[in-house]
Amino acid sequence: MIKRFPTVFKKSKGKKNIKKYIYGGSLLSLLLLFLFLALPSPAVEIPSPPADLYVLDQAAVMSNETRSLILGTSQDLARQTKAQVVVVTLKTLNDQVLEEVSLAILRGWGIGDKELNNGVLILLIPSEHKSRIEVGYGLEGVLTDGKTGRIQDEYMLPYYKQEQYDLGLRNGYLAIVQEVAQEYNVALAPSQDYRATPAEPSPGSRGTPAWLKIFGIFAVLLLLWLDHRYLNGFILGFILGSVFRGGGRGGGGFGGGGSGGGGSFGGGSGGGGGSSRGW
């Protein structure tokens, strides 16, 4: 009589545990990184709103002509649409993050209508070669990240690189208000300087490459799968809990704004829409 011996052997539980610990340790390292990123940041320091509401030129790069053009056009735009477009230049970011400063100004100053949240901030820091267009929730469908990026690339950065900051700000500003006026189907007061002048796009100032965005999405999905497979969703649950428990970032140094013609700020709700550039 021939005896049959089993041919299937179970894998060692020890090897399984070692593999599980390796994956778990890697994921816990990533968790520590997320913990660091989720920590509340100190209050962002921003300047007080200017008395004339629409222009603050701390870097002293704007001409009186450009300042007057922005004031008159923004007041006209606000009367007809309640949208507010503000231009700010700063001497320095004081080691703060560009996007955090611009969003803090948009929210802290309350740029845009309180209900429509249709504010736009054009921010320039010449000394650090950085610029950003911050868009309120109400205009994110019109001034998309891609469109504001193209406006900077075509109308602003070529002049910034030549230190023609006044011309770059004027062109970028007029390109923005043209988009807003077209969205609301209004005609602004005629001006001989109204048309923005596009320049040759700068090849080195494009946004994030598409392949890098795809890689980032794939990496996030892989992390979520590993978390679900080996840690039962612990990391995802922790991150979501931190987000819902944590408070929003506050803006420091909010001063009282003056009451120039064209109304006052009252909106400012935005979630980081817009685009950043450096040169």
pLDDT of amino acid 261 = 38
Closest CA to 173 of 27, 57, 28: 57
Amino acid at 27: L
- Whose tokens are 């989720």? That residue is 38
Q: Is CATH 3.10.310.50 the right assignment for the domain spanning 55-198?
A: yes
pLDDT at res. 229: 77
Task: Write down the domain spans for the chain.
Answer: 55-198, 210-236
Structural contact between residues 157 and 279, judged by C-beta atoms closer than 8 angstroms: yes
User: Do 165 and 156 touch, CB atoms closer than 8 A?
Assistant: no
Q: Taking Cα atoms as reference points, which of 256, 198, 260, 202 lies closest to residue 70? A: 260
C-alpha separations of 275 from 203, 206, 228 in Å: 16, 10, 34
Per-position pLDDT tens, the chain of length 279? 555 555 544 555 566 666 666 666 666 666 666 655 555 556 788 999 999 889 999 999 999 999 999 999 999 999 999 999 999 999 999 999 999 999 999 999 999 998 999 999 999 999 999 999 999 999 999 999 999 999 999 999 999 999 999 999 999 999 999 999 999 999 987 554 545 666 654 444 445 567 777 887 888 888 888 877 777 777 777 777 665 654 444 333 333 333 333 445 666 666 668 999 999
Name beta bridge partners: 124. 89, 131
* pTM of structure: 0.64
pLDDT at position 87: 98
User: What pLDDT is attached to residue 68?
Assistant: 95
**Three-state SS across the chain?**
CCCCCCCCCCCCHHHHHHHHHHHHHHHHHHHHHHHHHHCCCCCEECCCCCCCCCEEECCCCCCHHHHHHHHHHHHHHHHHHCCEEEEEECCCCCCCCHHHHHHHHHHHHCCCCCCCCCEEEEEEEHHHCEEEEEECHHHCCCCCHHHHHHHHHHHHHHHHCCCCHHHHHHHHHHHHHHHHHHHHCCCCCCCCCCCCCCCCCCCCCCCCCHHHHHHHHHHHHHHHHHHHHHCCCHHHHHHHHHHHHCCCCCEECCCCCCCCCCCCCCCCCCCCEEEEEEC
